[in-house]
Structure 1
Amino acid sequence: MTDRQATDLAAMLCSRLCHDMLSPVGAMSNGLELLAMETDAEMRKNVMQLLEQSASISTNKLKFFRLAFGAAGGFGDHVDVEEPKALIAALVADKNGVTINWALADRTLGKPAIKVLLNFAQIAIDAVVRGGTLDIGAERRDGACEIVVRAAGPRIAFDDTIGHALDGSLDPAELSSRTAAAHMIALLAAENGGGLQYAKTGDTLVLGAILPEGEGLIG
């Protein structure tokens, strides 16, 4: 990756973060304006509930992106799986009619695997626009970490350009805030000697990754 490409990717990831944060932060701003004008006790109580909800959503999203895009997770090479589980569960809690089935065989996963798992989960959550089920699994086997995230629902929303970003066939001109996260984990997988793949039908999206584990892997 050239310096220019790295700069563009960083900019697109920042745009994605800002896009996702705009709604809850905007809701807090609106809530504060209403609180300053409202005198009715019951209405002020409702506004406070809105502010608390928006603050919680904002916090959860920031924690998610810090680990999914950034260098969070402590100083070790591995992260306890309970941390990404809690972050994904918090995102799903804001969606109606979405349930998660977990199949995480190990207590910890390497940082590259954690980033792939989180970004796969985000793609899957975005895909089940009318509710559905997420099956999220990961296990170490034969010196590699295998990750599978399956989204199933009555209507799967999945942009083909995200698929192209995942499999490495994305035209650089199509890099955008929508495809940046998928492109990032594709680069991460390649740098660690692994790869990503996906399959989609009308009501199912399956995302898979194999990441070799060993010394010197990039996290």
Structure 2
Amino acid sequence: MTSQTDLAAMLCSRLCHDMLSPVGALANGLELLADEQDPDMRAKCVELLEHSARISADKLKFFRLAFGAAGGFGEAIPIIEAQTIINALAADNKRVTINWAINDPSLPKPAIKVLLNLAQIALDTLVRGGTLDIGAERREGAVEIVARAKGDRIAFDETIGRALQGDLAAHEITSRTAAAHMIALVAEELGGGLQYKLGDGVLVLGAVLPEPEGLIG
């Protein structure tokens, strides 16, 4: 069984891996800006810096809610926070269209954590573009979540699917599967579960998460 320390280390590795590119671009842009004298090239350097800074900020916001404790929020988090983060992460991929189907103005922290991770996993599979449909609703004392990716090619590692269902051996949990393993633990602690279904050009990720009694409404 993977210890909490091992899981934390793998999540940190995932964070560092995802942040390396935009932070590296910031460093490169600053070097270019320091040496460049041409006004047009300096303007391009500033544009690069702005772009990399925005990507870095968007990723950190994602990690804060998807992996962290989401300090500053109460027990429920506004849906607009999750929508803003996912829309921002997908903004540079013009071939992906995101559709939202969530009527509740907020959801419990664990549900937001699961929703963000499922949405990110689904988004990553759309290597040739497509549509990402994200929905959630409260029903019968539970939050039901779905993330559906549809495209010409779905690049999905079913090891991640097994991690979502809690079927991985300890040695199979890596920085690539750690996020899926983490939300599987979140679902288990709540008495719920996760599932996935992979078809021809379609991936559906789902979750059913019982709500704490104080948040049912």
TM over 0.5: yes
2:110 corresponds in structure 1 to 112
Q: TM-score, normalised by structure 2?
A: 0.96
- Distance in 1 (CA, whole Å) between partners of 2:34 and 2:73 is 43
1:206 corresponds in structure 2 to 204
Percent identical = 69
Q: Which is further off, 82-91 or 71-80?
A: 71-80
1:169 corresponds in structure 2 to 167
Q: CA deviation at 1:96?
A: 2.9
1:196 corresponds in structure 2 to 194
* CA RMSD in angstroms, aligned pairs only: 1.3
Q: CA deviation at 1:160?
A: 1.2
Superimposed CA distance per residue, residues 70-128 of structure 1 (whole angstroms, 9 cap, x where no aligned partner): 01153421111011110010001022311111100211101110000000011011100
- Structure 2 residue ranges without an equivalent (≥5): none
- Distance in 2 (CA, whole Å) between partners of 1:171 and 1:71 is 26
Counterpart pick for 1:71 among 69, 72, 76: 69
Alignment of 1:91-110 (within 5 A): 91-110=89-108
Aligned residues: 215
- Distance in 2 (CA, whole Å) between partners of 1:196 and 1:7 is 23
2:25 corresponds in structure 1 to 27
2:179 corresponds in structure 1 to 181
1:124 corresponds in structure 2 to 122
* 1:93 aligned counterpart, secondary structure: coil
Superimposed CA distance per residue, residues 20-67 of structure 1 (whole angstroms, 9 cap, x where no aligned partner): 001100111111111111111100000100000000000000011001
Residue identity matched to 1:205: L
- Distance in 1 (CA, whole Å) between partners of 2:71 and 2:149 is 26
2:84 corresponds in structure 1 to 86
Q: TM-score, normalised by structure 1?
A: 0.95
* 2:104 aligned counterpart, secondary structure: coil
1:140 corresponds in structure 2 to 138
1:160 aligned to 2:158?
Answer: yes
Q: Which runs of 4+ in 1 moved over 4 A?
A: none
- Distance in 2 (CA, whole Å) between partners of 1:8 and 1:175 is 9
- Distance in 2 (CA, whole Å) between partners of 1:177 and 1:216 is 34
- Structure 1 residue ranges without an equivalent (≥5): none
- Distance in 2 (CA, whole Å) between partners of 1:139 and 1:89 is 19
- Distance in 1 (CA, whole Å) between partners of 2:123 and 2:99 is 13
